Structure 1
Amino acid sequence: MDSLSSTERRQLELQGWLLLPGVLTAEALAPMHAAWERLTAALPNEGANTNWGPGLDTEPAFSICRTEPRVLAALGVLLDDDVHVRRLHGRSPPRGHGRQGLHVDWSSPTPPERQILANAFWVLDDMARDNGATRIVPGSHRWARMPRGPCAQPQGHHPGERVLEARAGDVIVFSSHLWHAGACNESGRRRRVVLAQFGRRELASMNEEYG
């Protein structure tokens, strides 16, 4: 965790999320974009009206999503350095899609001192309010409860929610137990994101998929 400041570590602990700007340069993004296009061209009808994105676990262009030191350090704050990759997949909501209800990526509440899963969202295109930026409720990973009622419905809101805007090349790290959701891509501008999920080693023996 030496690559993170004390302020960054405290934000992860108390708010459950951290934006790491400029992790990837334009040159580093280029092979990711090319691989994404190749994969989606092979399945042209798969994501026409959904939040679909390609599976990326075996793609060499995305190997950095498993190994980048500063991202792993941030994940380590949430998972007590017990950080093991579970899966990589893409998401790119088309115009008019992407809105989700607030949710978590685990099946039950967890104590704040023992988070089980954490996410790193690798932003491949600029992400803003008009193209489906991720919504979060800062600090909700410490509440040990699940989203219920209107806020868990796609059109619902939480009074404490925040929209995370980011630039291509940024990475957003957050607890999978943080209340979060995608927003609607109203503009139709591309919003490709690599969702890299990490968990504690104990999850390797579990068969159930989360997230």
Structure 2
Amino acid sequence: MYTKQALREIGLDGSELSDAQRKALDEQGYFLVEGVYSKAECREMADEFDRLTAIERDQGGHEVHVEPGAPRVSNIFNKTAVYDRCLECKPLLAAAAHLLGEFKIHGANLRDPLKGQGHQDLHCDVPKYFPDDWWVANGILLFDDMTLENGPTRLVPGSHLRPPINIPYVNIGDWTPIPLTPEQQALVPQDFAKPYPGEIHVTAPAGSVAILNSSIWHAGTTNRSGARRRVLHLTYTRRDLPQQLVQRDYLTQGLYERLSPAHRFLMDVEPDAAMAAPRKSAQREGAKGWWN
């Protein structure tokens, strides 16, 4: 299977992005789609977040990143079926196809900044080797309204076309930055925590999806009101790049059996020869696992 085939099987025909959305993604680095999920769907997904965080408490997100002041949950598809619908978020899948070509899931992390918490330094998620070297597409799926008071995402339109800044160490890999020109250096903020000239705050009702090129300069902001701001960060990456969470390492029988062949391909959980050999060996030795 290949990506276009998988997307056709899911129901995408290549017409999901409008010309305006494609232009915004190319030139501004993001676009917003409202009404992707109903109020009932948002309520169900938000309630499931609360259930999972009550179980995991301060260890929530431990598979990827624990963030004090902003409860998280990672590895969500193996823990519940409630978010399976998000694997068919058509505007996000279409944007990933446009940016990345052949792609697979990268990560899926729930996040809810608490009152007085959630502020992040301005950053981009991934490096790049040349101006249009795109690594990751990020969808922010809103289960609650995102307002100016409850910690909206801030971003700098068009900054995906600039050199990357302040990349999380875990995402750098073997990348070595290219020295900046004086003009480029002048654009880099002296203080990543402070507001940046021209930045915007993303506000939208629950059920919306904000779609970002992960090379855009962006950050979370402080939740001043304390109103809930539960979101899912669902990311896709090129198939030649590593996943944030290696899905095969956490795969449960329940998830595997729920997924169609197309979804298994996009999640990159089909066993390859290297995986199959030890499983067959374990079976011969009497070991039991769900794959036997």
TM-score band, normalised by shorter chain: 0.7 to 0.9
Given the two structures, how large is their TM-score scaled by the length of structure 2?
Answer: 0.65
Q: SS where residue 32 of structure 1 aligns?
A: helix
Aligned residue number for residue 117 of structure 1: 136
1:183 counterpart = 2:221:
yes
1:149 offset after TM fit, Å?
A: 4.0
Q: SS where residue 150 of structure 1 aligns?
A: coil
Post-superposition Cα deviations, 1:139-173, rounded to whole Å, max 9, x if no partner, equal 11111232544342x2x121021100011100011
1:113 offset after TM fit, Å?
A: 2.2
Shift in CA distance, 42/77, structure 1 to aligned 2, threshold 3 Å: same
In structure 1, list runs of 5 or more residues that go unmatched: none
More helix per residue: 2
1:71 offset after TM fit, Å?
A: 2.1
Q: Quick check: 1:91–1:194 contact (8 Å CA) kept in 2?
A: yes
Counterpart AA for 2:87? R
| CA distance in structure 2 between the aligned counterparts of 1:118 and 1:102, rounded to whole angstroms | 18
Percent pairwise identity? 32
| CA distance in structure 2 between the aligned counterparts of 1:203 and 1:99, rounded to whole angstroms | 29
Q: 1:22 aligns with which of 7, 20, 35?
A: 35
Q: SS where residue 16 of structure 2 aligns?
A: coil
Q: Quick check: 1:121–1:172 contact (8 Å CA) kept in 2?
A: yes
Aligned residue number for residue 114 of structure 2: 94
Q: Quick check: 2:104–2:239 contact (8 Å CA) kept in 1?
A: yes
Counterpart AA for 2:231? V
Structure 1 residues 62-141: aligned runs within 5 Å: 62-79=83-100, 81-106=101-126, 108-141=127-160
1:49 offset after TM fit, Å?
A: 4.9
1:23 offset after TM fit, Å?
A: 0.3
More strand per residue: 1
Aligned residue number for residue 4 of structure 2: none
1:60 offset after TM fit, Å?
A: 1.2
Aligned residue number for residue 44 of structure 2: 31
Q: Quick check: 1:111–1:142 contact (8 Å CA) kept in 2?
A: no
Question: What is the Cα-based RMSD across aligned positions, in Å?
Answer: 2.2
Q: 2:234 aligns with which of 172, 196, 202?
A: 196
Counterpart AA for 2:149? D
Structure 1 residues 164-179: aligned runs within 5 Å: 164-179=202-217
Task: Report how many residues are paired.
Answer: 204
1:40 counterpart = 2:40:
no
| CA distance in structure 1 between the aligned counterparts of 2:111 and 2:244, rounded to whole angstroms | 24
Counterpart AA for 2:229? R
Shift in CA distance, 181/27, structure 1 to aligned 2, threshold 3 Å: same
1:83 offset after TM fit, Å?
A: 2.7
Q: SS where residue 190 of structure 1 aligns?
A: coil
Structure 1 residues 138-149: aligned runs within 5 Å: 138-146=157-165, 148-149=188-189
1:2 counterpart = 2:15:
yes
In structure 2, list runs of 5 or more residues that go unmatched: 1-13, 61-66, 167-187, 247-292
| CA distance in structure 2 between the aligned counterparts of 1:16 and 1:194, rounded to whole angstroms | 19
Q: Quick check: 1:66–1:85 contact (8 Å CA) kept in 2?
A: no
| CA distance in structure 2 between the aligned counterparts of 1:112 and 1:128, rounded to whole angstroms | 32
Given the two structures, how large is their TM-score scaled by the length of structure 1?
Answer: 0.88
Shift in CA distance, 164/206, structure 1 to aligned 2, threshold 3 Å: closer
Post-superposition Cα deviations, 1:157-193, rounded to whole Å, max 9, x if no partner, equal 2102110001110001101110000010000001111
Shift in CA distance, 91/206, structure 1 to aligned 2, threshold 3 Å: closer
Shift in CA distance, 101/52, structure 1 to aligned 2, threshold 3 Å: same
